[in-house]
Amino acid sequence: MKYLLQIDFPHSGPFGSKFFNEMKELAEDIATEKGLVYKLWTENEETKEAGGIYVFDNLNDANKYLSKHTKRLESFGFTNIKAKTFKINEELSAICKASF
């Protein structure tokens, strides 16, 4: 069973390649998280939001990461952090081209 964790928060920038340059080391650290299958980084310059979609191979690691990452984001000065966790229906997702 795989789990999806969605996190988003208000973010005034930077975006695009500048965001990449500022977050590359953080991305490398996140890539080592226990249970992480992958992360999609999300950003919306128009609505001033950023965040990510994470897939974990178990709920326990997803919850541990959410707690850790929320504290980290707050230490960076981010507020109004929103998160949701979902079970992934892998069979239906595979029909729609998902791969894990």
Q: Looking at residue 2, what is its pLDDT?
A: 98
> What are the tens digits of pLDDT across the range 39-82?
999 999 999 999 999 999 999 999 999 999 999 999 999 999 99
Rounded CA gap, 6 and 72, in Å? 16
Structure-token pair, residue 61: 């690691």
How high is the pLDDT of residue 84?
Answer: 98
Domain locations in the chain as residue ranges: 3-90
Indicate whether 100 pLDDT > 90: no
User: How far apart, in whole angstroms, are the C-alpha atoms of residue 34 and residue 63?
Assistant: 11
Model confidence over 7-51: pLDDT tens digits?
A: 999 999 999 999 999 999 999 999 999 999 999 999 999 999 999
The top-level CATH class assigned to 3-90 is alpha beta
Q: What's the mean pLDDT in 86-100?
A: 95
CA dist 51 and 23 (Å) reads 12
Return the SS3 of 73. helix
Cβ partners under 8 Å of residue 45, min gap 6: 13, 15, 16
